[in-house]
Amino acid sequence: DVKVTQSSRYLVKRTGEKVFLECVQDMDHENMFWYRQDPGLGLRLIYFSYDVKMKEKGDIPEGYSVSREKKERFSLILESASTNQTSMYLCASSLSGGNEQFFGPGTRLTVL
């Protein structure tokens, strides 16, 4: 079975802090994705990566950056956290050319 793990289930940070969210998948998937989930808005794509060191902006990249130094690991970085970034963050992966994404358990981030 595909396994996608995220570094933290719950995280509380202060405004202005730099925040790192890490995601690791164990199925050798080429594609990895970061979403945020807010009530009534569904899942919105922040960034995705289709190969090591490659990254593409999603629909809401402002205030975020990403890093993919190894195939299995995709990190989401909040350079200076703000209260409007309080949300559930979900990581997913899929095979190259595939549409079926597999999700991690999510990180619920609260920015105070």
Interface positions with other proteins (CB under 8 A): 4, 31, 33, 35, 40-45, 48, 50, 56, 58-59, 90, 92, 94-106
Q: Which is nearer to other proteins, 21 or 106 (CB)?
A: 106
DSSP 8-state class, residue 82: -
Q: Which is nearer to other proteins, 17 or 38 (CB)?
A: 38
Reduced to 3 states (helix: H, G, I; strand: E, B; else coil), residue 37 is strand
Whether 3 and 72 have beta carbons less than 8 Å apart is answered as no
**Shortest separation between residue 94's beta carbon and other proteins, angstroms:** 5
Q: Which is nearer to other proteins, 19 or 46 (CB)?
A: 46
Q: Which is nearer to other proteins, 7 or 82 (CB)?
A: 7
**Shortest separation between residue 62's beta carbon and other proteins, angstroms:** 15
Q: How far is CA 28 from CA 25, 69, 102, in A?
A: 7, 14, 12
d(CA 48, CA 14): 26
**Shortest separation between residue 30's beta carbon and other proteins, angstroms:** 9
d(CA 52, CA 73): 9
